[in-house]
Structure 1
C-alpha cells in the first residue's frame, strides 16, 4: 500500500496530514480505495447478491369501480398511477424488504393498459466483513381486477345501503343546492356515495358505511349552516353472534335564509347582534350568515347554533325582486369593504320599470350600491311599498320606519336582451343523480329548474366571491368568432379566462396515465 505524507503548520506546530491510499483488489487486482473486504464493487457483487430471496413479482388487487387498491388485509386505498399513495402501497407489499435498507424507489414507465406496474428499488446491506453493498433491482406488480366490498354490494343490489344523508331546505327554489353541488364536486366529498337521488325539496346521499355518511354530514356543516338528527332502524339480528345490522338516517336541514333575502330580525336576535336592523339583507351564506343593514352599513354574523336557537324566516326572497330604473343618484358617504365586497351609501331616485308610461310614481331611497349605480342603470330590489307581507316579527315593531324600496343588486337584464343566446366560454360539471319519478314526469317542474339554473349561472358571472369555492371549466363548444349583437356587451359581467380550468378528457388509448413522471425518494 502506497502512502503519502504531508506536513502542515497549525499554531506554530507541525502536524502530519495523512492522505487516503489505494490497494489492489484481492480478486482481480484492480486498484481501488480500501474497504472492509478489500474487494472492488464488481467482485463484491459477484460474490454476494443482496436481492436474493426478495419478491420480484407481486399481485396487486384493483377495484375498477372506485379506483382503489387493496392494502391487506381489508383496507382499500384510492390511488392514481405513479402517485405517492400507490408507491407506498407497492413498497408495503414487499414483506422481505425489511431485512435491507431502502435508499430510493421510483416508477418505471409501462404501458397504461398492460396491467403491469414496475418499481425500481435501490437497497443497501452489510456484506463481507462489514462492507456496505448497494444494489438496484426492479419489482413487477401485476394488477388484478377485484371489486371491493362496498362496490360489490352496490353492483349486486344498489339498495343495499347502510346510511343515508337526507339533505333538505324548505325554500321555493334550488339555488342553494346548485351551489352545494359544485362545492361537493370540487372537494370530491360524495366520492364514497353509492347512489344520489334528487328529491322535491333536497337531495338524498346513500352510503355503504355509517362513517362515510357521518363524514359527509360534517363536510356540509362547514359549507352551509345546518342542523341534523340521527336515527337508526334495526334490519337484522343474529342471536348466536349477537350482531346487529342497522340502517342509519341523517336528517340534515339547511337554514332557510338564502343570499339576497330580506329579513326582519326578532327583538331578541336584534338585541343580541348589537341592535342591528331590524330590516337586514343576507349578503353571504357559508357556515354562518352575514347580515347587512343597507341603511347604516352595519354588519353582523350569525352561525348555525345562534340561528337555530331562535329561528326566523325571510320577509321577502329573491323570487320577489322587482326591476327598477335609476333616475338620479348622489353619494352620501365613503366606500367601505366588507368580506371583500365594496359598499357605498347613496341617495337615489328610482322608478319601477313596469310603471313607465302608466304613472309618474318615483321613490326616494337610500341604498348601499352607490359605487355601482349611475343614472340610467337598472337595479333589482324589494318593493315594500306595494308588498303585502304578513310577517309576525314585523308586526311586533311599533313605529318602525319601513322604506318604500330596498335595492339589492345591479341588473343587467336590459343589456342581455340585445344579445343572442350562445354557449358560454365556461361550463360546470354535474353530479350523477337520479331524479325522483314524480319530478321527472312534471314538465313544469323541469322548466322551473332550468330557469333557476340559468339564474344561478348569471349569479356566478356577476359575483366573483361566489365563484371562490367552485371549479369552472373551459367550454369546447364556445367559439369567440360567433357573430352576436354587441349592444351593451362591455357592461355585462363575465368570467375571466384565467379563472377557467382545462377539462381533462382522456381517450381510451390515453386513459390510465401518461409516462413515468412520478419519481419518489424513500429512505
Structure 2
C-alpha cells in the first residue's frame, strides 16, 4: 500500500511484533502467537478418531457401509478413500483440505490415510494441521457369501453359454473379454461344460446384465425361463430360479462359408463362397476372389441360421511355389489386400505325387515363393452342405488360402512367448474335457493366433513379467516384448489399421 504526498510516494510497511508466548519476532496476527506456539497450544485434530475399524468380506472383496450396505472398492482407489472418509466420525467439525493414502504392507490388514484439515481457533486465526488415521480391516463374510458357503447351490440365476462347434477358440477369446471388462464379477460360481460355460449369479439382475454384455461382444441369441422353487399362499410370496439360455453363432473367424442364396442376394449378390474375417456382434465377411467385404448383423444371421462349410480344424498346410500379382492393392476397411494367382502344393504330398494347384488368393501382398500357407482343400474334401446344393452349376476352386503360416517346428507358444493370459476360476463339470491334450493343443493354437495377429490383442489384458499390460498402442506391444515370428514385418500395419 502506498500514499501519495505531493511529488513523493511513501511505501507503508508491515511492522513486526513479538510472540506473546516464546518472544520471537513475527508478523502480527489476531492471536499474537507464532505458528509453532499455535500448533502446541491448539490441536484441531483431537476431535478425529485416529483408529477406525472397517469390515471387509474376503469372498466378494467388498466393504461394509453400515448399517447393511456392501460396496466394492479397489485398493487405494477414489471409492475406497471416500468410503474411509465416510467412516470417520466428526470429520464435519473441521475443514478437510487434502487426503491421501500412505503405503502399507498389503497383508498387514491396515489402511493409513493422511489428512490435512483446517479450523478457526482464536480470534479468526485459521490453523492447518495434518494427522494420520489408521483403519483396521476386520474380515467378515457378508450375508450373501455366507449363504453361498453354507449351500453352494443356492443361486437364483444361471446363464448357460453354448456354442456348438468342434473347438473352444471362441470361449478362450470370450474369457479374456470377460476378464478385461470384469463382466463376471458378480458370478458366485463358474462351471465349464462340454459345449460351453455356466455362470451362476445370486440375483436375476446380475445375470441379465451379463447377458447384455454378451450381446455387445458376440452374435448371440438368448432365451429366458424360470422355475418355481417354493411358494407361500398365505403371504402370497414365490421363489423362482431363473435361467438364460445363450447360444453363440457357430460361425468363427477364418471359417469358409457358403452363403444361402437369399442372404447373398440381400447383400448385393455377394459371394457365395466367403471367408469370415472378424466376429463381434457383427460378422465381417470377405470375398477372396473379388476383395469385396460385407457385414452381417446377428439378426440377419439368426433369420437364416447357416453353418460354416469348413472350419479351422480342417485347414491344410500348403507350400507356395509361385505368386503373380493380378491387381493393385485394395484397402478394405483399413486392411490391405492384393489379388494374386499362385501355384501351391500340399506339404503332405511331397515325395508322394507331383500335384500342383493353381489358385487365386487375396494374400498376394504377403505371400512369396517358398512361403507356407494354410488353406481349405476343396479338391479332396468330402463336402455335404445344403446351402451349396442350392447353387446349380457352381464350380468350386481346388484350394482357398486363408492365411500365411508362421509355425516353426517344435515351437510352443505357451512357454516361449514373453506374455501370458489370465483365466477364470472355473470348475470342470462331468462330461467337460478340461485339461486334456486336445484342449491344451487348442489353447496353444489360440496363443499362436494372438501372437500372429496383433490387432486381436488390443481388446485383451496381457501379463508381462507378473504385471498386467493394457494393450492400447503399438508402443505397449513393444514394451511387453511380443516374440513374434521372423516374417512378421510382412504384415505391415498402417495408420488406417491403427484407427480401426
Once the two structures are superposed, what CA deviation does each residue of 1:92-115 show, in whole Å capped at 9, x if it has no partner?
A: 112311232101112334444443
Which of 408, 411, 425 is the matching residue for 2:417? 425
Equivalence for 2:297: 303
Once the two structures are superposed, what CA deviation does each residue of 1:208-242 show, in whole Å capped at 9, x if it has no partner?
A: 22232222222222322212222222323355655
In 2, distance between residues paired with 1:40 and 1:71?
Answer: 42
In 1, distance between residues paired with 2:287 and 2:275?
Answer: 6
Equivalence for 1:505: none
**Equivalent runs, 1:62-81 vs 2, <5 Å:** 62-81=56-75
Equivalence for 1:520: none
Closer/same/farther in 2, CA of residues 352 and 51 from structure 1, 3 Å limit: closer
Equivalence for 1:439: 432
Query: How far did 1:253 drift?
Result: 1.1
Which of 442, 455, 459 is the matching residue for 1:452? 442
In 2, distance between residues paired with 1:135 and 1:240?
Answer: 62
Once the two structures are superposed, what CA deviation does each residue of 1:402-425 show, in whole Å capped at 9, x if it has no partner?
A: 322211112345x426x6999313
**Equivalent runs, 1:128-277 vs 2, <5 Å:** 128-239=122-233, 242-277=236-271
Higher relative contact order (CA 8 A, sep 6+): 1
Contact kept in structure 1, 2:283 and 2:296, CA below 8 Å:
yes
Q: Is there any run of 5+ residues in structure 1 with no aligned partner, and where?
A: 477-494, 502-523
Q: Secondary structure at the match of 1:234?
A: strand
In 1, distance between residues paired with 2:277 and 2:414?
Answer: 30
Closer/same/farther in 2, CA of residues 451 and 56 from structure 1, 3 Å limit: closer
In 2, distance between residues paired with 1:398 and 1:17?
Answer: 104
Query: How far did 1:42 drift?
Result: 4.2
In 2, distance between residues paired with 1:91 and 1:240?
Answer: 46
Query: How far did 1:177 drift?
Result: 0.8
Q: Secondary structure at the match of 1:50?
A: coil
Contact kept in structure 1, 2:413 and 2:447, CA below 8 Å:
no
Q: Is there any run of 5+ residues in structure 2 with no aligned partner, and where?
A: 467-475, 483-500
Equivalence for 2:488: none
Once the two structures are superposed, what CA deviation does each residue of 1:14-62 show, in whole Å capped at 9, x if it has no partner?
A: 7765443344445555443333444433444555443343323211101
In 2, distance between residues paired with 1:88 and 1:125?
Answer: 21
Q: Secondary structure at the match of 1:151?
A: helix
TM-score (norm 1): 0.81
Query: How far did 1:346 drift?
Result: 0.2
Query: How far did 1:296 drift?
Result: 0.9
Closer/same/farther in 2, CA of residues 21 and 230 from structure 1, 3 Å limit: farther
Q: Does 1:462 align with 2:443?
A: no
Q: Does 1:499 align with 2:491?
A: no
Count the aligned residue pairs. 472
Which of 349, 357, 367 is the matching residue for 1:373? 367
Contact kept in structure 1, 2:414 and 2:447, CA below 8 Å:
no
Contact kept in structure 2, 1:425 and 1:474, CA below 8 Å:
no
Which of 380, 401, 404 is the matching residue for 1:407? 401
Q: Secondary structure at the match of 2:416?
A: coil
Once the two structures are superposed, what CA deviation does each residue of 1:320-373 show, in whole Å capped at 9, x if it has no partner?
A: 222323222101122334455432110112233344444443322110011222
In 2, distance between residues paired with 1:271 and 1:15?
Answer: 92
Q: What is the RMSD computed on CA atoms of the aligned residues?
A: 3.1
Equivalence for 1:317: 311
Which of 267, 272, 278 is the matching residue for 1:278? 272
In 1, distance between residues paired with 2:118 and 2:340?
Answer: 76
